[in-house]
Structure 1
Amino acid sequence: MTAAQPAARPNSPENPWPVRTVSQKVAGWIDRLGTIWVEGQVTQINARPGTRTAFLTLRDASVDMSLPVTCSPQLLQNSPVPITEGSRVIMFGKLTYWAGRGTLSLRVTEIRAVGIGELLARIERLRSLLAAEGLFDPRLKRPLPFLPRRIGLITGRASAAERDVVSVAQRRWPAVQIDVRHATVQGPTAVPQILDALEALDADPAVDVIILARGGGSVEDLLPFSDEALCRAIVACTTPVVSAIGHEPDSPLSDHVADLRAATPTDAAKRVVPDAVAEQYLVDELRARSASALRSWVRREEHVIAQLRDRPVLADPFRALDRRHEEIDRLRTAGRRDIARTIAMASSTLEHMCARLSTLGPAATLARGYAVVQRVVPGGNPEVIRSLGEMPIGTQLRVRVADGAARAAVMGHEK
């Protein structure tokens, strides 16, 4: 600041800035940004013959934001790749703020079309990023309901994909309800519209599953379905999402983050909606198989019961008792016979012993003429005399013979 320049007055309610000052300051701030590279999708081209300026609109494919662009018509005409609406481009230029209209635009001096190789490389880098974050993890996949009552369908208006999904689903299960949300499925406005439809269907508690369907197309046509914002929105959904984009060879990133990938829209309808005829046939088959299994089980159990009833112990329960009764009778008879024989043998032995005892006993000896001489002991039992020395003269004796006993006295001895 020089002495000739007065100090700028501070901005306040008493010292407000005029519009021109604000516009000049904004223009100065934007001018200090310098030249920049910007990527986006061309949504509008206005290049009238004979004019020195062409007007374009550059839109972000992920969000509903756009930027006015101006350039020389020759820049569009001399581009090696034709620049058309929907082309993804990289522009080099400088932002300009038009203070008179209060608008902002990008004045570009170079435009590069994003080729297929670059698009595929970007998709591959995004694929690696999402995979590293675990968004492709099979454990995150939500199971589809067996019989959805209401299906949310996001597809293009009056598209073949819509006809295929609706016709196949209603043919397989006529009672199914389909909530169709039309959205642009290619171009710069596709991603915002698809995100809005996806958010609305996910917030509806009556929707059991969401199908994202589109027919085949080029890499540029299917590019919205590899958008990072759309992929993260699919992962964040609480409702199962089925991706049915393109044909079998096509594989946008939405196929990897969705809960189920279908090869075609028709395949999506077949995998989401069960076939009523096939399910009824399966029910009939299962009923027939269960009835057959039950009958087989009953026959098997009846056979087991018949075998048990045919067993002797059940067919004639008293047969074993009768057989045991006969055996007991036989054993009792044998026991009586053995006891009688034992008693007879013991009786015979006893008789023999008695006979021998009788023969050898003193009574038999006395009966043959012998006598037993005992000395009478006063106050005691008689004692048998075995020698002459035991009976001196005068000894009182008791002489026992076969039929009785007599008393005697020793009168003398003889040898």
Structure 2
Amino acid sequence: MLRPRVVLVVVLLALLLGEGDGWRRRRRAPPPPPPPCSCSWWDWGSWSGCSAACGGGTRHRTRSRNGCCSPSQETQTSTCNTHSCCSCRWGSWSYWSGCSRTCDGGTKTRTRHRNSCCYPSYGSQSMSCSTQPCCSCWWGNWHAWGSCSSACGEGRQTRTRYREHCCQPSFQEDARPCHNHCDGSGHSHAHAMSLEHKEQRVLQYVLQNASRGDPESVVAAMDKYGMEKEWLITVGEHKGPILDRFVKETAPQTMLELGTYMGYSAVRIVRLLPETAKFITLEVNPEVAALAKEIISFAGLQDRIIQVISDSADAIPQLKAKFNVETFDMVFIDHWKDVYVRDIKLLEANKLLRKGTVVLADNILRPGAPEYAEYVRTCGKYDSTLHKATFKDKTDGVEKSVYRG
């Protein structure tokens, strides 16, 4: 009979031998491998904002994946805003170019310079111009013949008429030969301007119907003549209140008038100015200037009005030195409409305008000064508005332009 201890050893050996066979069997038959894994990516997302506004920055974007993809392909990086860091600087706008058409709509352009940091599309601007329809030319009636250019012997007489609508230039001149008889001394028996001349008739009317030394009565007499007898190229009673209002508002100490004509506007303006104000008026026609001198003297203003007989193109550059004027507080333009633009540019070039100078221009609508109106409204140097007035069935206007300096 086996001893109990021997039996226990035999049992343990049997168990160990049986477990060893099972382990060897498991080594010889491993479990099957898992199925293969495919990499799947989703679409890229949007780029992020750039890390720098200039000088070079970076931006990135990402995309999602399943578990079988390399994580190194999950993010992309790109450079951005590589331009140099600098501020955009623009120069001043140039003057507007001429209009591409004179009617039925055209365009004009202007440009300005820039540095390399500015977006280039803003270097030029364009706008419409000459939008009025193309139309036929209408002329007013001829004015009376002027006096003979020669006081003794053969000479020349001229007359003018102004455009009513669409005509270029804005006036026409006609001429004819004339002759004045001379006495033995060589002097003419004719007056320098006869009563056949409309302006001479106005002077006679003023002398007969106004009061000497009374500017108000002189203005009233000339207005009445223009209303009841013959039309006059003056501001007149329908636009006069516009002129009066701006003179009172501005109260200029220095004022320039371009176009004295018969002295109507000079008398009308100076009657509202303080005695310390300096008023200069230019007239190119010496015969008309002589008439204006008589009317100004009759109004009692000969010591307060400086008359200059000269073409404005010659006189304007000499005003500073000749009359000790630095700038003008107000300018009234009422001469040949075709030279309005030329003369306001001369005033600018000779620095006779200061910031706030008020420039008034008559006859903007009749006979018309469209080039001037376009210039002051679009050149960028003025704040400009048109003030209209109607006389009978005709409308005209005074352009008020305040110089920006």
Query: Which category of TM-score, normalised to the shorter sequence, fits these structures?
Result: under 0.3
- TM-score, length-normalised on structure 2? 0.24
Which structure has the greater CA radius of gyration? 1
> Going by fraction, where is helix more abundant, 1 or 2?
1
